[in-house]
Amino acid sequence: MRIFDPHIHMTSRTTDDYARMAAAGIAAVVEPSFWLGQPRTNPGSFTDYFDSILGWEPYRAAQFGVVHHATIALNPKEANDPRCRPVLDLLPRYLDKDRVVAVGEIGYDSMTPEEDDAFERQLALAVEHELPALVHTPHRDKAAGTRRTLDLVKASGIEPGRVAVDHLNEVTIDLVHGSGCWMGFSIYPETKMSPPRMVELLRRYGTERVLVNSAADWGVSDPLLTVETAEAMLAAGFDEDDVDRVMWRNPVEFYSQSGRLDLTGVTGAAEPTFAGSSIKRGGE
Ligand SMILES: [Zn+2]
């Protein structure tokens, strides 16, 4: 079984996670830039973060045989902070970099006018840089946020097949299904989607244009929930090809639209090479 997690924040995870992921068959990941919990106070703190997820993190992933790409954006939450907004002007030079496979996460947090503006400007950047867009839907007022997201996507002129609308659930799937956009689902240990709920949606809606991710980050989350969902699919009667489509070929197809997805390093469920490798240990 080969697995591609299309949305995971590895910068918040440990090398133990990489080792467990690689051993379970997770061979590729995409790390969207997002909020770090602690508010950032200046654009320089974003550029250091972007450099880290484009430089240090792929290097760290490679020690475990995991291929790592990133998406770059000003996230919806910090789009509201006037100290952070100047980062919008710095995005173009990052969007030209090799390992950047989409603009994201963009979208809504609290649906403010500032968020409208940042979302709109970044969709325009996606069109300009010929990149797909990864869109976060809000955790509060999810249905209204998803509707407003689709309106803005439509108005932007971006091709819907180049947009993934993420963090969907049973309520919001109907809004996105039929829009032409990709449908992203984050599987969490306690809240949002669980593996059985995801399997039920795959049964009802099929496997086309579906992306399943762990969205693991610094909160309560689990990088192996993609694997658990794949196993739940098999137990529910989906075959290996269905699992491969959802867990590998779909994310490959979506991010390949960037023209930059490079999977030449994929070795399948590689053995971690941490022991004896030159990777720096924490604190060094
Ligand atoms: Zn995220």
Calculate how far, in angstroms, residue 217's C-alpha sits from the geometric centre of ligand 1: 7
- Model confidence pLDDT, tens digit, residues 185-224: 999 998 778 999 999 999 999 999 999 999 999 999 999 9
Element (H, E) at 213: strand 210-213
pLDDT score of 117 = 98
Quick one: pLDDT at residue 284?
A: 36
Q: Three-state SS for 170? A: coil
Domain ranges of the chain: 3-256
Residue 266: predicted pLDDT: 82
Predicted confidence at residue 267, as pLDDT, reads 60
Q: How far is the CA of 276 from the centre of ligand 1 (A)?
A: 32
Q: What mean pLDDT is reported for the chain?
A: 93
Structural class in CATH, domain 3-256: alpha beta
Spacing, Cα 33 to ligand 1 middle (Å): 7
Distance from the alpha carbon of residue 75 to the mean position of ligand 1, in angstroms: 9
List residues, by chain if needed, whose CB lies under 5 Å from ion ligand 1.
Answer: 34, 215
